Amino acid sequence: MNEVNEIRELGMKREGEIHCLTIIGQIEGHQLLGDDTKTTKYEHVLPMLAAIEESEEIEGLLILLNTMGGDVEAGLAIAELIAGMKKPSCSLVLGGGHSIGVPLAAAARRSFIAPSAAMTIHPVRLNGVVIGVPQTYNYFARIQERIVRFVTAHSHCSREEYLRLMTNTDELANDVGSVIYGEEAVEKGLIDSLGTLSDALDYLHGEIAGKHGRNEEKRFT
């Protein structure tokens, strides 16, 4: 059974409303990670998002996030697709949103974070052999600029504040960057609201009801 049919059948089972997409562990890109590493393969997520957007049965997308970083290019590709969807989308950060998890959370039309969840923000890094030439450093700087632009364009966090969080040297013992928790992430504008699963679902059901011209009581404000 192909992925499009799987999405359509899932949508029918869920009465044509909300599809839940889970993005956990590391975002795996063009290089395979070890069998002992929990990954989300971007080549699986991209066609799934396209099928959700085209599905006549699915009317909203809930994204559950608990990431540990991963391939920046792959993560940005997923984030760009989410941001470009016309259907209502909502992200919920649970546990952690590490590195590329930040733009993934911000990409949705509405973002929530659990009070106990954390978001880790740091500069772009590369594991393995690095050629120490100016072109390499310029390449890193351009990737980092892409992330900064995406996050600040899809959240209420200013460029200055995001760069400050990314380059903070006072918080992480062996690294540069910041770890911020639920309430602080909302205060800094990275995430729209503190919330739980019911809040995220209330938002999506409200958006779907509004699309169909229905009045639906919601706990979300």
What is the mean pLDDT of the segment spanning 16-27?
84
> What is the structure's pLDDT at 13?
43
Residue with tokens 């989308």: 89
Percent of the chain at pLDDT above 90?
48
Question: For this structure, is 99 an active site residue?
Answer: yes
Which tens digits make up the pLDDT trace of 76-126? Answer: 889 999 999 999 999 999 988 777 889 999 999 999 999 999 998 887 766
> What is the structure's pLDDT at 195?
96
Lowest-confidence segment of 37-41, 81-85, 211-215, 216-220 by average pLDDT: 216-220
- Indicate the pLDDT class of residue 67, thresholds 50, 70 and 90: confident
Note whether 115 and 182 are within 8 A (CB).
yes
> What is the structure's pLDDT at 116?
93
Catalytic residue among 19, 98, 122, 154: 122
Whether the predicted pLDDT of 59 surpasses 70: yes
Whether the predicted pLDDT of 190 surpasses 60: yes
Which tens digits make up the pLDDT trace of 126-180? Answer: 655 555 656 666 777 788 899 999 999 999 999 999 999 988 887 765 677 889 9
CA distance 10 to 16: 8
Q: Does domain 3-211 have CATH number 3.90.226.10?
A: yes
Whether the predicted pLDDT of 207 surpasses 90: yes
With the C-alpha atoms ordered 102, 93, 43, 12, is the resulting torsion angle positive or negative? Answer: negative
What is the mean pLDDT of the segment spanning 23-27?
81
Catalytic residue among 55, 89, 91, 99: 99
H/E segment holding residue 160: helix 159-166
> What is the structure's pLDDT at 100?
85
Question: For this structure, is 122 an active site residue?
Answer: yes
Q: CA dist 117 to 94, 97, 106, 195, Å?
A: 5, 8, 15, 10
pTM score of the predicted model? 0.80
C-alpha atoms less than 13 angstroms from C-alpha of 168 in its C-beta half-sphere: 17
Pair of tokens at residue 198 = 């019911």
Instruction: Domain ranges for the chain, please list them.
Output: 3-211
